[in-house]
Structure 1
Amino acid sequence: MNVDAVIRRASFNADGLLPAIIQEQGSRDVLMLGYMDAEALRRTLTEGRVTFWSRSRQEYWRKGDTSGHRQYVKGAALDCDGDTLLVQVEQIGPACHTGAHACFDVDPLTPVIGEP
């Protein structure tokens, strides 16, 4: 894999960010959504740990550096438009800062279920 080619293919938004969906490899649970700039993407693809760009703190962060709840990269793919990244991980501990397994476990909705 040529990391520079992947970064060139990625379509970052006007703020220079790419949404990154984090999925647990074994269960296929969608754990969280974070954002990466080109450097965070480079680090994620070359270091084996997921790195994000924190929009609120304006700095890089890796899940688990303070909590110990780490995300180890097991696979990654850009979507067909290159504007969203899917990262499959081995999740150690909860993924959500609330302590929930996944950020989407916290507030389930009850939509009307459509039929084909």
Structure 2
Amino acid sequence: MKLIGGSYGADGKVEIGSSNIIVNGRMIGRSKVKSMETRQHSQREFSAITLIVGLFLFVPLCALPAGFFFGDLAALLVGLAAFVFTMFATFDHVESRIVTITTDEDKTLSIQCNKKEAQRLQSFSPN
């Protein structure tokens, strides 16, 4: 998991042990966790590889058969539709969880993780 902020630094590595959380080599015991908050973060990211594959494979594979069977106008329209579809497909939806932990010493840490790791971290919650 990735440390993205807090009293333990702005970046680093976080691991979950059997009874503690290890942050950049420092251990936080289960009894030291005062509170925990989890929120979901989602964003759309541009994918250049998807754009290249779409432009050089998908558009010609759609437009060439349409042009062969139905003429130039059909090839242009199908190629344009494939181009528009490729442009929408180049944005990937990426979800992550941000877990903010406060210790009994009032130190905080924010961790970026996936759903499964967030559930494992919730087992350290005092509630």
| TM class, shorter-length | under 0.3
- The two structures have a TM-score, normalised by structure 2, of 0.25
Name the structure with the higher strand share.
2
Q: Could you say which structure has the higher helix fraction?
A: 2
TM-score normalised according to structure 1 size: 0.27
Kindly name which structure, 1 or 2, has the bigger radius of gyration based on alpha carbons: 2
The answer to which structure, 1 or 2, has the higher relative contact order (CA under 8 A, 6+ apart) is: 2
